[in-house]
Amino acid sequence: MPEPRRATREDMPACAAVVNAWIDATDWMPRVYDAETIERFFHDGFDAREFWVLGDPIYAYASFNPETKQLVALYSSEPGRGVGKALMDAVKAGRDYLWLTTHEPNLRAQKFYAREGFVEVSRHDPEPPEVVREVRFEWSR
């Protein structure tokens, strides 16, 4: 498995393509934003976040906000191959605390986060316009 690398601004369209493909392939996830809007979110958030990517072409990414300590996103088009673990290790490196939310129907992600040492702390309705309930997890050393 290749090592994750820090993303560049030029990687943002590929990261957006990964999440857009996931939305389209996930029957319980409604498309709230069109693909172009999601790509714009990546460009707008680039300066405030750390992005880690895997692959050439990119097939997985993680987005972390160092100010809030939130793992904002972790998506892979190749689940079950250790990709999420590699990205998670890159984000965890040198940190003592992280938090994230995942979607309540995403049981695979919840199991992954539990294996990674995250603890569920709450379940809640999302902020509009999102509609799928969320689960908050926290991790600390």
Q: Write the CA distances from 127 to 34, 57, 62, 130, 132, integer angstroms.
A: 18, 32, 21, 6, 9
**79 pLDDT above the threshold of 90:** no
Say if residues 124 and 87 touch (Cβ distance below 8 Å).
no
Spell out the domains of the chain, with CATH numbers in brackets: 5-140 (3.40.630.30)
* 123-132: average pLDDT: 95
Q: What is the pLDDT of residue 41?
A: 97
Q: Is 119 helix (H, G, I), strand (E, B) or coil?
A: strand
* 120-127: average pLDDT: 97
* 71-95: average pLDDT: 95
pLDDT digits 0-9 by tens, 44-53 = 999 999 999 9
Q: What is the pLDDT of residue 111?
A: 98
Entry pTM: 0.94
Distance CA(99)–CA(118), nearest Å, equals 8
